[in-house]
Amino acid sequence: MSKKPSSAAVITAGAPAKINLGLRVLGKRPDGYHNLLSLMVPVSLYDELRLELGSRGVELRCPNSDLPTDAQNLVYRAAQLVLDACQRDEGVRIELKKSIPVGAGLGGGSSDAATTLLAVNQLLGSPLAVPDLHPLAVKLGADVPFFLLGQWAMAEGIGDRLTPINNVPTFWTVLMHPHFQVSTRWAYENLTLTTGPNGSKFNILGDTSAGEMTTSHQRLLDRRQLTLEDMLPVLANDFEPLVFGHHPQLHDLKKTLLTAGARAVAMTGSGPTLVGLFGSEKEAAAAHDLLCHRDDITSSVAHTLDTTSLLTSKVV
C-alpha cells in the first residue's frame, strides 16, 4: 500500500473517565444484549496515551500495570482497526499510563479505545472522518461511541444511541473507588429480570420500556440549563441492589459520602465506584480531604466536562 505523510510525529492525549448519572436496564434483547437508559457524563479523571508511528503492526506498552498488551486490550484492537480501515503499511507504538481504576464502572478501557481511534487516525493524516470511526467504535464496545461523541449524552439501546445534551454546567464530584472490581458480565448475568408472556426479559423495576424515556429523562433533554436538582430524579441505578447485596460495605461508603456533604450519591455503571455530587469545588475538596486517608478506597475529585475534544493533545 502507498504511504501518505502523517500530520504528527507523536501525540499525547488524555482519555477521560465517565460517570453514569442513573442507569436503567430496561430488558434483554434477543441478541443477548440489554437495552439501557442512562445519562452519561465525561469527567476530569484521565488515562494518558502516547502514540507514534512505528514500522509495522501495533506495539503496546502499559507500564506499572498488569493489563495485556496484545489483542486482548481494547487499545491494541482500536489501533489495528484504524490501520486496517486505512489500508496502511505503517505501524504504531503506544504507551498507556492508567489512572482510571480498572473494573470500576468508569469506562476507562472504552475511553482509551476511543482516544486511540482518533489519535491513530490523526497520526496517519486523518484519512477517516469522525463519522467513519463510529462503526469501528461499535465493534469495540457499547461505551466507545459515547467517548467519540465527547460530551454529555442520553444513552439508549445498548448505549450506542446517543442524544447529545448541551448547555450543561460544571458539577463537582468525589469518586470513591473501593479496592475491588465488579465484572460487567457478572452484573448483567445476575441482574434479576422478569420473563414476559412472549418469553421476553424485562426489568420489572423499570418505569419505562425500550425506546421510551421517563418524564424525568425527557425533562433533562428539554431544559435549556441543567441544575443539580434536575439530576436527582434520574440517579437510580438498577445494578445497585445487586452489587450492594454482594458487597454490603458499599452501604456504609455511601453513607460516608453523604455525611461528608454530598448532595446525592449514586453508583456508576455496574460499579463499584460511587459518585458523590457536590455543590462546589470547595465542598468536594473538603470531602476528599476526609476520605483520602482511608486504606480501603481510592478517592478522587473530578468535575464534569461539558464537551471534551478527546484529542486535547500535544503534538511534537
> Which of 18, 28, 98, 254 is flagged as catalytic?
18
Lowest-pLDDT range of 91-95, 233-237, 282-286: 233-237
267/237 Cα distance (integer angstroms): 7
Q: Looking at the domain assignment, is residue 2 inside a domain?
A: no
Question: Do residues 160 and 218 share a domain?
Answer: no
Using DSSP, state whether 46 is helix, strand or coil: strand
Phi and psi angles of residue 109, each rounded to the nearest 5 degrees, phi first = -65, -40
CATH number for the domain that contains residue 213: 3.30.70.890
Q: What's the full length of the chain, in residues?
A: 316
Q: Looking at the domain assignment, is residue 98 inside a domain?
A: yes
Question: Do residues 204 and 289 share a domain?
Answer: yes
* Residues contacting residue 249 through CB under 8 Å, at least 6 positions apart: 178, 296
Q: Average of pLDDT values for 1-24? A: 78
Q: Looking at the domain assignment, is residue 178 inside a domain?
A: yes
Active-site residue, 132 included: no
Band (303; pLDDT cuts 50, 70, 90):
very high
Note the pLDDT of residue 204. 40
Q: Average of pLDDT values for 259-286? A: 96
Question: Do residues 91 and 152 share a domain?
Answer: yes
Question: Do residues 137 and 188 share a domain?
Answer: no
Measure CA of the first residue to CA of the last residue in the chain; give whole Å. 26
Q: Average of pLDDT values for 112-138? A: 95
Q: Looking at the domain assignment, is residue 5 inside a domain?
A: no
Question: Do residues 161 and 29 share a domain?
Answer: yes
With the C-alpha atoms ordered 71, 74, 80, 85, is the resulting torsion angle positive or negative?
A: positive
Using DSSP, state whether 247 is helix, strand or coil: coil
Mean residue pLDDT of the chain comes to: 88
Q: Looking at the domain assignment, is residue 144 inside a domain?
A: yes
Show the DSSP H helices in 130-209 as ranges: 130-140, 144-149, 184-190
Band (212; pLDDT cuts 50, 70, 90):
low
Q: Looking at the domain assignment, is residue 249 inside a domain?
A: yes
Does residue 201 register a pLDDT over 70?
Answer: no
280/161 Cα distance (integer angstroms): 31
The number of distinct structural domains making up the chain is: 2
Question: Do residues 125 and 185 share a domain?
Answer: no
User: How far is residue 262 CA from its own chain's centroid?
Assistant: 22
Band (309; pLDDT cuts 50, 70, 90):
low
Which stretches does DSSP call E strand in the chain?
10-28, 34-54, 58-61, 91-97, 153-156, 161-164, 172-178, 194-195, 201-202, 264-267, 274-278, 297-303, 314-315
Cell digits of residue 80: 489495528
Give the burial class of 138: count Cβ atoms within 10 A of its Cβ; 0-12 exposed, 13-18 middle, 19 or more buried. middle
90/164 Cα distance (integer angstroms): 35
Amino acid at 119: A
Cell digits of residue 131: 463519522
135/44 Cα distance (integer angstroms): 26
Residue 164 CB neighbours (<10 A): 13
Task: Please answer whether residues 175 and 299 qualify as being in contact, where contact means their C-beta atoms are separated by less than 8 angstroms.
Answer: yes
Question: Do residues 201 and 85 share a domain?
Answer: no
Note the pLDDT of residue 8. 54
Q: Looking at the domain assignment, is residue 49 inside a domain?
A: yes
Note the pLDDT of residue 77. 98
Band (227; pLDDT cuts 50, 70, 90):
confident
| pLDDT, greater one: 225 or 209 | 225
Note the pLDDT of residue 219. 78
Give percent of the chain with pLDDT exceeding 90.
72
Amino acid at 1: M
Task: Please answer whether residues 152 and 41 qualify as being in contact, where contact means their C-beta atoms are separated by less than 8 angstroms.
Answer: yes
Note the pLDDT of residue 136. 97
Band (310; pLDDT cuts 50, 70, 90):
low
CATH number for the domain that contains residue 58: 3.30.230.10
Question: Do residues 65 and 102 share a domain?
Answer: yes
Q: Which residue has the cell 428539554?
A: 222
Active-site residue, 160 included: no
Q: Whole domain around residue 286: which residue ranges?
A: 172-303
Does residue 244 register a pLDDT over 50?
Answer: yes
81/246 Cα distance (integer angstroms): 38
274/257 Cα distance (integer angstroms): 9
Does residue 168 register a pLDDT over 90?
Answer: no
Q: Looking at the domain assignment, is residue 1 inside a domain?
A: no
> Which of 143, 160, 238, 254 is flagged as catalytic?
143
Q: Average of pLDDT values for 254-270? A: 96
Question: Do residues 43 and 125 share a domain?
Answer: yes
43/18 Cα distance (integer angstroms): 6
Cell digits of residue 113: 479505545
Question: Do residues 37 and 127 share a domain?
Answer: yes
Q: Average of pLDDT values for 67-85? A: 97
Amino acid at 210: A
302/117 Cα distance (integer angstroms): 25
Does residue 114 register a pLDDT over 70?
Answer: yes
Band (9; pLDDT cuts 50, 70, 90):
confident
Q: Average of pLDDT values for 74-81? A: 98
Band (1; pLDDT cuts 50, 70, 90):
very low
Does residue 166 register a pLDDT over 80?
Answer: yes
Band (229; pLDDT cuts 50, 70, 90):
confident
Question: Do residues 15 and 140 share a domain?
Answer: yes
Question: Do residues 78 and 41 share a domain?
Answer: yes
Q: Average of pLDDT values for 305-316? A: 61
